Amino acid sequence: MVLSQNPNFWELAVPPLQQRRMSDNPPADTLLSPETAAELARRFQDPRLEWRRLFAEFWGTFLTLVVTIGARAVAAKTGQVSPGMDYASRGIMTMAAILFLGAISGAHLNPAVTIGFALRRNFPWARVPGYLVAQLLGALLSAWVITALFGGLINAGASMPAPGISSWQALGMEVLLTAGLIQTILGTASDARNMGTNNAIAVGGYIILAGFWAGPVSGASMNPFRSLAPDVLRWNFSVTWIYFAGPLLGTVIGVATEWLLKGAPTRAGNRAAQGGTEDNSGA
């Protein structure tokens, strides 16, 4: 008898533990049934839940940027926050925010991410303005809090090209870094098995890595509102254009690369971008 025709071939050829692991890891898109996708879409379109998504974006942006901007101000005040600690704190806070807010709003926390998801067709353009306003308000509040706590040290939290670095070098670095960030976010979001913990680790880790190697060049902003908010509080917009043009160009490159690598958007990507807010309204 040919072994492959034996009804017990699977048990003989594959150890039970490996069988269980293989069955627990089906193809990415099979992890999200049509019924589940339809229910998530219904929740996303439910206007009663919109305030939760917008508040999640406002609050998550505030938390991540109060850490990002605050670390620089505390470093200037005390000298006890190293550049490595600065970049690590930003990545860890972003990781945490993705984990506790991702199921509500998708935890974009960055206008470049929202625009990237929209360009990728994982997120409707009609919802983009609301997300951007929520993120901007969160960013401005974070800068205001740091100014209230540390006064003029808000200047330390501003995004600036390093001494000896030209505006065009800083621009190029922001384009490069943001393209990598958007690719990381879209690439992990497209696979349902990467959503949640794996996605948070990948994005947080990328932000830390970008800060380690490129922070000394441009500040590794990758977020237009992260740079705009301190500029508003100190009323200095001399280099703000770098931190808008760079991330936006990088976003386009990151989205284009994702299309080339993976083709059409996936249901898992839609879920990651839109969140899966539960309807606890009792209605």
Split at pLDDT 50, 70, 90, the class of 26 is very low
Q: Please check whether residue 3 lies inside any domain of the structure.
A: no
**Euclidean distance between CA atoms 207 and 199, whole angstroms:** 12
Average pLDDT over residues 256-277: 88
| CA-wise closest residue to 28 among 270, 256, 260 | 270
Task: State how many domains the chain has.
Answer: 1
Please give the Cα distance from 258 to 241 (Å, whole number): 26
What 3-state DSSP class applies to 222? coil
The answer to whether residue 19 is domain-embedded is no
Q: In this predicted model, what pLDDT tens digit does every residue of 99-137 receive, in sequence order?
A: 999 999 999 999 999 999 999 999 999 999 999 999 999
Structural domain includes residue 4:
no
Cβ atoms of residues 214 and 220 within 8 Å = yes
Contact predicate 203/93, CB 8 Å: no
pLDDT in tens, 4-16: 444 444 344 444 4
C-alpha to C-alpha distance for 66 and 146, rounded to whole angstroms: 7
DSSP, res 172: H
pTM of full prediction above 0.85: no
Distance CA 257, CA 263 (A): 10
Buried/exposed code over 86-107 (b: 16+ C-beta within 10 A; e: otherwise)? bbbbbbbbbbbbbbebbbbbbb
Residue 12 belongs to a domain:
no
**DSSP letter assigned to residue 241:** T
Residue 108's CATH number:
1.20.1080.10
> Which amino acid makes up residue 227?
S
Reply yes or no on whether the pLDDT at 182 is more than 80: yes
| Residue 77 and residue 202 in contact, taking contact as beta carbons nearer than 8 Å | no
Residue 270 resides in a domain: yes
CA 209/CA 87 separation, integer angstroms:
8
Q: How confident is the model at residue 46 (pLDDT cuts 50, 70, 90)?
A: confident
Look up the domain containing 80 and give its range.
33-274
More confident residue, 242 or 279: 242
Q: Which residues, including other chains, have CB under 8 Å from residue 15's CB and lie 6 or more apart?
A: none
Confidence of residue 2 (pLDDT cuts 50, 70, 90): very low
pLDDT at 29 over 90: no
Q: Of 31-45, 65-79, 173-187, which gets the smallest average pLDDT?
A: 31-45
In a domain, 16, yes or no: no
pLDDT at 277 over 50: no
Distance CA 191, CA 124 (A): 19
Neighbours of 17 (CB within 10 A): 8
Q: Is residue 158 part of a domain?
A: yes
Does residue 23 sit within a domain? no
Looking at every residue in the chain, the average pLDDT score rounds to 86
pLDDT at 281 over 70: no
